[in-house]
Homo-oligomer: A and B are copies of this chain.
Amino acid sequence: MSSRASVAELGEFGLIARLAETLASPASPGLRPGLKIGIGDDAAVWAPTPATWSVITTDALIENVHFRLHTTSWYDLGWKSLAVNLSDVAAMGARPRYAVVCLGVPGEVAVTAIEEFGRGLADVGGRYGTALVGGDTVAAPCATISVTVVGETLPAAPGAPPPLLQRRAGRVGDLVAVTGTLGASAGGLRLLEGATPADADPAAAEALRAAHLRPTPRVNAAALLVAQGVRCAMDLSDGLLGDAQRVAEASDVGVVLEAARVPVAPALARLFPADALALALGGGEDYELLCAGPADVLAAAAAALAARGEPPLTIVGRLVASPAAGPRVQVVDAHGAPLAVQGGYVHFRS
């Protein structure tokens, strides 16, 4: 059957076979050493790596809720739907290993679109050592995607549990840091939705759109953090302020963030200077890592990231005692004076 066929013509089993072919392409990771049975039986089977723990996460993307087909390609959609799950696995301090995907599409979608989707999945999976081992393709009134990824921690040392990155592992006195720069994804979404930037800079615009459409999961950075002794982290999917709130709640602490230290994405500062800090604080889908730890641990982690060519680790604040009243997360200026924050927007009162 020609690639110009629609999904309805190919049928469910044809679609699964086509996707499996795409995923077995050279760009895909192929069979992982531990994989015993891949696509084609009732379930996939693997041998867990001895002394590791397993982690699992799942995320759904719905057309016109999480993405629009006129602003994303099917390739990017495949990439992003897997990348956001790789990010969650990394944020536990684990390596992603195996993925399954449920894809619902209207019958009139072209088979080539599904192949592009599969290539996006396979490319980001291959880059981070993750094999697609199963899935389900169904008819649906709009495009619906859910991906589940299983990962493995580092092996445990004798007599100790394997190391993890947990939201609840923050301690009063820890410094708070983020990888990379923030706000680019939110700026990219603005551009995709038709906003006019302050500056016509095609390269900066493309950087923002790419950050939104093809986020880079910090799989390698997370592995370095956990190896350097960091134990508290999460990935930034809902914005620094909202996610800092979750670390604060899980660790029962307060968080003080210094606005001037937040690493605003340069392309964002260029194209949307008036809102850049607000988007860096409150915009979502950066998929950078937010972590907390003692100053010496974070310094060693920052050096390890730099040595491996990973994005920089920037100190943005510190964990403090849980406040008796008021918000757990405070944003302050360089002098420690509180700034009012509303919906991610910082109102400079001084």
Determine whether the beta carbon of B36 is less than 8 Å from that of A161: yes
Determine whether the beta carbon of A104 is less than 8 Å from that of B144: yes
Q: In the complex where A42-B92, A43-B92, A45-B164 touch, is A136 in contact with B58 (Cβ < 8 A)? A: yes
Determine whether the beta carbon of B102 is less than 8 Å from that of A146: yes
- Interface 9-residue window, one of A3-11, A46-54, A191-199: A46-54
Is A264 part of the contact surface with B, judged by Cβ < 8 Å?
no
Name the residue on B nearest A60 (C-beta): B102
Give how many A residues have a beta carbon under 8 Å from the other chain's beta carbons.
60
Determine whether the beta carbon of A45 is less than 8 Å from that of B92: yes
- What is the total number of copies of this protein in its complex? 2
Q: Which residues of B contact A54 (CB under 8 A)?
A: 45-48, 54, 150
Q: In the complex where A41-B92, A92-B45, A136-B146 touch, is A141 in contact with B56 (Cβ < 8 A)? A: no
Is A75 part of the contact surface with B, judged by Cβ < 8 Å?
no
Most B-side CB within 10 Å, residue of A92, A98, A144, A167: A144
Is A330 part of the contact surface with B, judged by Cβ < 8 Å?
no
A246 to B234, CA, bound (A): 43
Residue from B43, B64, B89, B100 within 8 A of A43 (CB atoms): B89
Residue from B58, B91, B94, B141 within 8 A of A101 (CB atoms): B58
Is A37 part of the contact surface with B, judged by Cβ < 8 Å?
yes
Is A57 part of the contact surface with B, judged by Cβ < 8 Å?
yes
Q: In the complex where A36-B161, A144-B104, A167-B41 touch, is A58 in contact with B94 (Cβ < 8 A)? A: no
Determine whether the beta carbon of A48 is less than 8 Å from that of B48: yes
A283 to B59, CA, bound (A): 32
Most B-side CB within 10 Å, residue of A42, A100, A151, A165: A42
Q: In the complex where A41-B166, A42-B167, A234-B42 touch, is A136 in contact with B36 (Cβ < 8 A)? A: no
Task: Render A56-80 as a binary contact track against B, CB cut-off 8 A, 1 for contact.
Answer: 1111111011100000000000000
Name the residue on B nearest A149 (C-beta): B43
Q: Which residues of B contact A88 (CB under 8 A)?
A: 42-43
Q: In the complex where A42-B167, A45-B153, A234-B41 touch, is A138 in contact with B53 (Cβ < 8 A)? A: no
Q: Whole-angstrom distance from the CB of A99 to the nearest CB of chain B?
A: 9
Determine whether the beta carbon of A100 is less than 8 Å from that of B56: yes
Determine whether the beta carbon of A100 is less than 8 Å from that of B45: no
A97 to B136, CA, bound (A): 20
Q: Whole-angstrom distance from the CB of A158 to the nearest CB of chain B?
A: 15
Determine whether the beta carbon of A141 is less than 8 Å from that of B66: no
A326 to B44, CA, bound (A): 31
Determine whether the beta carbon of B42 is less than 8 Å from that of A102: no
Q: Whole-angstrom distance from the CB of A31 to the nearest CB of chain B?
A: 14
Is A139 part of the contact surface with B, judged by Cβ < 8 Å?
yes
Q: Which residues of B contact A61 (CB under 8 A)?
A: 138
Q: Which residues of B contact A64 (CB under 8 A)?
A: 141
Is A235 part of the contact surface with B, judged by Cβ < 8 Å?
yes
Is A250 part of the contact surface with B, judged by Cβ < 8 Å?
yes
